[in-house]
Amino acid sequence: MGSRESIGIGLMGLGVIGGAVAKVLTEKADALAAEAGCVLRLRKVLEKDLAKTRASKMDPDLFTADAAEVLGDPEIDIVIEALGGDRPAYDFIKEAIAKGKCVVTANKEVMAKHGPEFLSLAKEKGVDILYEASVGGGIPLIAAFKQDLLANDISAIHAIINGTTNYILTRMASEGLDFAIALEEAQKLGYAEADPTNDIEGIDPSYKLTILAMLAFHVLVRPEDVYHEGISRLSSRDFRYARELGYEIKLLAIAKEKDDSIEVRVHPVFLPKDLLLAKVDGVYNAVQVEGDLVGRVLFYGQGAGPSATSSAVIADIINLAQRINLGVNITHELKLNPSKRLKPISEIETRYYLRMSTVDRPGVLAKISRILGDLGISISSVIQRESDVSADVAEIVLMTYPAQESAMQKAMAEIERLDVVREISNFVRVED
């Protein structure tokens, strides 16, 4: 039995996630109290939008538009940050921890940018910050790295952690849609925001990969360390060739360790179509982890949405409430190993798919092969098609054997300078 009758909760933000969390706290109050060992009492809700507070049907006295009323309330033990973005979330979280409160956040951006700072401040203050919902929505991931996978040396993470782009890619693959049409459809269905930049340019998954890579590989990663490319360069032609060659195209977040050197990157990849990850479609997320003891494990589920995400937020609240109730202070520290280094993208080694438009003449392929050969890049297969006889244009698609990125970039620059090459239409890395 714990010592507390209730634990005070302050909620910052009554949007999609904050609203869902408040609803679960109310509707499942008894069951949650049984799990936590005491009542979870919502004491204050920060929300500046009066329409939202009125629509919520919650006690109007709970609401405030002044963050100081939440952060300065001595009855509040746990602050839930559900505002999103960097500022003011960063300031509020720091202040909450400095005042000795525990924090739960669903905010990947603020955790990717400032997680290590929050965690060391929390340790100093004997409190904790939990962030299960920041990656993969309702999929239990962070706790798995902090606890269940601890005995392992993790060698690789391959993750589909952006539902918006996975939906768009699924529609492009299954219906042959162009990128712009698939994006418009995703926006109409509410899967993509009006400004979709963070998703389609791979920024959102690079925040999430920053968080996972720090936990898995014990290396300090900042969001700007993650190489990222989006999906807007992909065309329906790439999907047709991928299918012909036995692949699906996915936006993958990849982190791998070899010899104390860690690569962290987010970009579209060709994935062999029989892999489980290649079959993850629509808005679903999946994270595949490889550990020396456990082998390959796959976490799969809804990576967003109010209900699934509230599952992770509420679990974090219960976890903290149990600890507060029992009077145990255990901050989970990020154990960072300074001897590990991050590998720049130029040093990675992978296979490549290359699609280019050339003049339709004999000898073109020989010129391209010579450039690749001189840089140590071997071709594993070629598809050559006449795409427009009247315009004298052909399309050549190449797959290479593993090659270093720097050599591949140099080869592409030289190929593009050939007078017989109109353009390199696209290139995609292959993840076998």
Ligand X SMILES: NC(=O)c1ccc[n+]([C@@H]2O[C@H](COP(=O)([O-])OP(=O)(O)OC[C@H]3O[C@@H](n4cnc5c(N)ncnc54)[C@H](OP(=O)(O)O)[C@@H]3O)[C@@H](O)[C@H]2O)c1
Minimum distance, C-beta of residue 123 to ligand X, in the bound complex (Å): 23
| Active-site residue (options: 208, 250, 256, 343) | 208
Task: Report if residue 410 touches ligand X, rule: CB under 6 A.
Answer: no
Angle at 216 between CA 228 and CA 286, to 5 degrees: 60
Task: Report if residue 260 touches ligand X, rule: CB under 6 A.
Answer: no
Minimum distance, C-beta of residue 108 to ligand X, in the bound complex (Å): 6
Residue span binding ligand X (CB under 6 A) among the ranges 261-269, 303-311, 344-352, 373-381: 303-311
Candidate list 137, 196, 223, 268; residue touching ligand X; CB under 6 A = 137
Q: Scan residues 162-201 and list those touching ligand X (CB under 6 A).
A: none
What DSSP element (H or E) covers 264?
strand 261-272
Minimum distance, C-beta of residue 13 to ligand X, in the bound complex (Å): 3
Residue span binding ligand X (CB under 6 A) among the ranges 47-55, 256-264, 336-344, 406-414: 47-55
Comparing CB distances to ligand X, the nearer of 61 and 419 is 61
Position with the least CB separation from ligand X: 15
| Cα–Cα distance, 66 to 60 (Å, whole number) | 14
Minimum distance, C-beta of residue 357 to ligand X, in the bound complex (Å): 40
| Number of residues that make up the chain | 432
Task: Report if residue 310 touches ligand X, rule: CB under 6 A.
Answer: no
Residue span binding ligand X (CB under 6 A) among the ranges 12-20, 28-36, 95-103, 379-387: 12-20
| Cα–Cα distance, 275 to 138 (Å, whole number) | 23
Task: Report if residue 88 touches ligand X, rule: CB under 6 A.
Answer: yes
Task: Report if residue 46 touches ligand X, rule: CB under 6 A.
Answer: yes
> Is the torsion defined by CA of 134, 135, 140, 146 positive or negative?
negative
| Cα–Cα distance, 110 to 89 (Å, whole number) | 7
Task: Enter the tokens of residue 373.
Answer: 């050969």
| Cα–Cα distance, 122 to 96 (Å, whole number) | 10
Candidate list 11, 17, 266, 280; residue touching ligand X; CB under 6 A = 17
| DSSP-assigned beta bridge partners for residue 40 | 7
Comparing CB distances to ligand X, the nearer of 52 and 94 is 52
Q: Specify whether 108 is catalytic.
A: no
Tell me the helices (H) and strands (E) count for the chain, helix number first.
Answer: 15, 18
Comparing CB distances to ligand X, the nearer of 47 and 263 is 47
Question: Is-contact 77 8, C-beta < 8 A?
Answer: yes
User: Which of 377, 5, 8, 425 shows the shortest CA–CA distance to 236?
Assistant: 425
Candidate list 13, 196, 230, 268; residue touching ligand X; CB under 6 A = 13
| Cα–Cα distance, 178 to 232 (Å, whole number) | 10
Minimum distance, C-beta of residue 340 to ligand X, in the bound complex (Å): 28
| Cα–Cα distance, 236 to 426 (Å, whole number) | 12
Chain-centroid distance, C-alpha 364: 41
| Cα–Cα distance, 170 to 282 (Å, whole number) | 6
Q: Scan residues 116-135 and list those touching ligand X (CB under 6 A).
A: 133
Task: Report if residue 52 touches ligand X, rule: CB under 6 A.
Answer: yes
Contact footprint for ligand X (CB under 6 A): 13-18, 46-49, 52, 82-84, 88, 106-108, 133, 137, 304-305, 309
